[in-house]
Amino acid sequence: MTLKEQLQAIQQKAIERLEQAKETQAVEDIRIKYLGKKGDVTQVLKGMKDLSPKERPIVGKLANDVRDTIQAKISERKAVLHQEALNKQLEEETIDVTLPGTTHSVAQTHIILQVIEEIEDLFLGMGYKIVEGNEVETEHYNFERINVPKHHPARDMQDTFYIDESYLLRTQTSGTQPRTLEQHNFEEGPLKMISPGKVYRRDTDDATHSHQFHQIEGLVIDKDIAMTDLKGTLEEVAKAMFGDKHDIRLRPSYFPFTEPSVEVDVTCFKCQGSDEHCSVCKNTGWIEILGAGMVHPHVLEMSGVDPTVYGGFAFGLGPDRIAMLKHEIDDIRHFYTNDQRFLSQFKMKG
């Protein structure tokens, strides 16, 4: 068989094998067998040394044509196999777009933060500013500057987390008030502020107490401030939190930083003050919501404010307690267990 016939036979055999190839690896094997450095075409061309000068260019051209034809068929077969594999993959991975999609729960603001933001919006509307203090506070500002000196009995009411002799985790947000008061310029107007934030006390965790909870304290200092201003402000708070039908009452109490001091009750939201067989208010018709009073003159003096010229009122309320009352929650720990079944009940308004 001449070299020309051998090359034609190689081309025919290679094309037949390519048409039968079912995988790209089989195509690659064919390429190596026929066009590789030690392939059939190369082996045939080694016999060109025995050809006459006239036959060599003819056989050389034929060899190039055979190589180009086989290479073209290889590329064509690879493209076909690739498309077949892609079609098979698409068929196996077809998505039924008529099936319902996977639903995801939408995040919402925690109920405690909802109450805090509601209170903040209320006071912003009344011209107050919001001042956030330090959760790690000095003993001086946490106690002494609000009229609770060392060895004062009131310190026993607040079992405190001390960091060292001078620093502690604040037991109330009150420390923010003297810090703000001593920097305030009364020539620019009265001081009206609230200070929201987390506070910490070594309370035993139970249904109504937690070692960490939230507090919002308010302070108003100006000339000619009276108890009636405090009562009117707290009435607005009660109506905004619990509804227009609710009233408040003030009962005498004691706090070191206010004089006189009062406990503030709101009409029971369950029995509406009828006090008949009500487990929420224990048949009293009232529910305690916060403490308040007129700022003690000594607190003003320690901040460099003349108590004969200026006066004011202060109050402190717990968003956790308000949330419990508004939604009739019997255990404060529900707010902190991250149970989505519980928390998802409290959808944000609007």
Closest listed residue to residue 321, CA positions, set 194, 216, 195: 216
- Report the pLDDT value the prediction gives residue 313, as an integer from 0 to 100: 97
Quick count: other Cβ atoms within 10 Å of Cβ 350? 3
Q: Answer whether 124's CB lies under 8 Å from 130's CB.
A: yes
Query: Residues marked as binding?
Result: 259
As given in the structure block, the two tokens for residue 340 are: 């989505």
Q: Tell me the pairing of strands 191-200 and 129-130.
A: parallel
Distances (CA, A) of 76 to 16, 90, 237, 266, 308: 13, 21, 81, 86, 100
Percent of the chain predicted with pLDDT > 70: 93
Per the model's pLDDT, the better-predicted residue between 100 and 144 turns out to be 144
Helices 24-35 & 3-20 angle (0-180, nearest 10): 170
pLDDT in tens, 202-247: 766 555 567 888 999 999 999 999 999 999 999 999 888 888 888 8
d(Cα 7, Cα 27) in Å, to the nearest integer?
19
- Report the pLDDT value the prediction gives residue 38, as an integer from 0 to 100: 82
Choose from 38-47, 141-150, 331-340 the range with maximum mean pLDDT: 141-150
Interval 253-260 mean pLDDT: 93
What pairs with residue 213 in β-bridges? 199
Dihedrals phi, psi of 349, to nearest 5 degrees: -70, 145
Average pLDDT, the chain: 86
The domain locations on the chain are 1-91, 109-342
Query: Residues marked as binding for Mg(2+)?
Result: 259
- Report the pLDDT value the prediction gives residue 329, as an integer from 0 to 100: 82
pLDDT in tens, 65-124: 888 898 898 999 899 999 998 888 888 887 777 878 788 877 788 889 999 999 999 999
d(Cα 39, Cα 41) in Å, to the nearest integer?
6
pLDDT in tens, 114-141: 999 999 999 999 999 999 989 999 999 9
Distances (CA, A) of 250 to 146, 265, 267, 270: 22, 7, 12, 20
- Report the pLDDT value the prediction gives residue 122, as an integer from 0 to 100: 95
- Report the pLDDT value the prediction gives residue 180, as an integer from 0 to 100: 95
Distances (CA, A) of 104 to 101, 107, 272: 10, 9, 40
- Report the pLDDT value the prediction gives residue 205, as an integer from 0 to 100: 56
Q: Which amino acid would we find at residue 24?
A: T
d(Cα 332, Cα 213) in Å, to the nearest integer?
9
Which residues have C-beta within 8 Å of that of residue 238, sequence separation ≥ 6? 246, 247, 248, 266, 289
Residue 348's pLDDT band, with cuts at 50, 70 and 90, is low
Mark residue 346 as left, alpha or beta (left: phi above 0; alpha: psi -120 to 50; beta: remaining): beta
* Strand spans (E) along the chain: 129-130, 136-138, 167-169, 191-200, 212-222, 248-255, 258-267, 286-295, 311-317
pLDDT in tens, 13-58: 888 888 888 888 898 888 888 888 888 887 777 777 777 787 878 8
Q: Which amino acid would we find at residue 271?
A: C
- Global pTM reads 0.67
d(Cα 158, Cα 248) in Å, to the nearest integer?
27
Residue 300's pLDDT band, with cuts at 50, 70 and 90, is very high
- Report the pLDDT value the prediction gives residue 206, as an integer from 0 to 100: 54
What pairs with residue 267 in β-bridges? 286
Q: Based on C-alpha coordinates, what's the Rg of the chain? A: 43
Q: Is the pLDDT of residue 278 over 80?
A: no
- Report the pLDDT value the prediction gives residue 208, as an integer from 0 to 100: 53
The fold adopted by the segment(s) 109-342 is BirA Bifunctional Protein; domain 2 (3.30.930)
Residue 305's pLDDT band, with cuts at 50, 70 and 90, is very high
